[in-house]
Structure formats: C-alpha cells, structure tokens
Amino acid sequence: MNHRPYTDLLALFGIGGAHPGGLELTKNILLKENLSEKKLLEIGCGTGQTSLFLNAMNVNITPIDNHSIMIEKANNRFAEHQAGITALQMDIEKTEFRDSSFDFILSESVLSFTDTNKTLPEVVRLLNKDGVLLALEMTKKGTLHLDLEDRMKQFYNMPNIFSKEDWKEALENHGFKKVEISPLSVRDLQPSEPEMDPSEKIEDKYFEVMHEHEKLTYESQEHIEISIIRAQR
C-alpha cells in the first residue's frame, strides 16, 4: 500500500470517528445544516460511519476515499445496512466528477493531510455557486513549538499544520467568499471511543505507529484545537 503509515493504521484497524469528538461531534454539526435536496460529497469517508448516518437522514451522499481498505470496509458497512450507496476510490486532489457537481462537501480531518494548493482548487471546482465546504480540521495555536510541529508533520506526512488564520487565508485565496471558523479545545471535547473494525492480519509495526500517534496526541493536546470550518463559495 502506497500510503502514510498513520492512514494505513486507521484503515487496518477500521477506526471510525478518529478525530476528537468523534461521530457525536459530527452529528451535532451536521444537524444544524439544511441538507435536504442537496447533493453532498464526503471526501475521505473512511469506513463510512458518517456517510451511513447521512444516508439514514435521506441525504443524497457520495462518499469517496483514496485508500482501498477504507473503501472495502465502507462498502461492507453500507451493504450490511442495505444503505444503497457505494464508496468510490478517488483522490480529492483530482476527482472524476464534473464541475459544479455538489452543493455541499464534507471533510472530517482530511484536508489537513493534503496539499491544499491542489485540494482546495478541486473542492472549489466541484462545488456549485454558493456551495458550502464544511471541514473539521486540526488548527495549531501559537504555543505549538516548532520541534513538536516538525515531528507531527513528519509522522503524519503533513505538508503544513495550519492555524485558524492560515485556513482563512488559504480558503479566501482559493475563491471562498464567506469563511467562518469556530475552534474547539481538544481537552474540552467529550471523550469518544472510536469504532473499530480491524483487519485479520495487522503487522506489529502498526502497533508501534499507534503508540507514536498516542504519544504525539498527548504532547500536542494543549497546542492544537479542532476547528469547525464553514466556507461558502
């Protein structure tokens, strides 16, 4: 698999709702949106937890992910619940959809792990006029030390770790007219137990990856927020 070790970890363990706050935070945010009669794209759908929730709300949802194991587990979930939707294997940097295909795009801790100079133009291309991007992404505080930031970027293979101001600037530079960012303290979020659907065979090295992820999460919790980003074209 040609992926980041952390992404492979999530896929192999079948971890759903991996971001702080988990599925409950996502539900609370989405329930505030009017999604009826909207065409919605979930990028980085993972094991399909959120897409299944939206499908149950009769939302017209298209889930995509670039990881084959995630796609397999998402489609197994959809089949088990007779959801009538299919996750597609695509990379958000270059999808196969036509221009202006969607009214709403959802990203749960996905865009932070991409080259936003490639992904944000694609998001803009896919959205209708007045379409909305809703993203839950990590944002750094000014207290994040450079050495810890560098370790996080190396481990998660992230080009950048954006602050709230960085996200606002990036989104506006790529054509979003109305950008709202609401930060949530990681420490203040209700602890959530991620759902797991582990593969049969998992190499020992991924338990080491899990340990390093937990270590970085602990070290960075005072210096990282989860931001609800709502950007409208």
Rounded distance, CA 88 to CA 86, Å? 6
Could you tell me the domains of the chain?
Answer: 5-232 (3.40.50.150)
Contact indicator for 109, 138 with CB cutoff of 8 Å: yes
pLDDT (tens digit, 9 = 90+) per residue, 80-138? 999 999 999 999 999 999 999 999 999 999 999 999 999 999 999 999 999 999 999 99
Confidence of residue 53 (pLDDT cuts 50, 70, 90): very high
Which pLDDT value is given to residue 114?
94
Type of residue at 60: N
Q: 143: which residues sit within 8 A by CB, 6+ positions away?
A: 222, 223
DSSP assignment of the chain, as one string?
--S-HHHHHHHHHT-BS-STTHHHHHHHHHTTS--TT-EEEEES-TTSHHHHHHHHTT-EEEEEES-HHHHHHHHHHHHHTT-----EE-BTTB-SPPTT-EEEEEEES-GGGS-HHHHHHHHHHHEEEEEEEEEEEEEE-TT--HHHHHHHHHHHT-S----HHHHHHHHHHTT-SEEEEEEEEGGGSPP---B----S---THHHHHHHHHHHHHHHHTTTEEEEEEEEE-
The confidence score (pLDDT) of residue 138 equals 92
23 compared with 158, residue with greater pLDDT: 158
The whole-number pLDDT of residue 116 equals: 96
Q: How do beta strands 60-65 and 39-43 pair?
A: parallel
Average pLDDT over residues 177-206: 80
pLDDT band of residue 1 (cuts 50, 70, 90) is: very low
Q: What is the pTM of this model?
A: 0.91
Q: Which long-range contacts (CB under 8 A, 24 or more apart) does 60-67 make?
A: 61/85, 62/88, 62/102, 63/87, 63/88, 64/88, 64/89, 64/90, 64/92, 64/95, 65/89, 65/90, 66/3, 66/90, 66/91, 66/92, 67/1, 67/3, 67/7, 67/8, 67/11
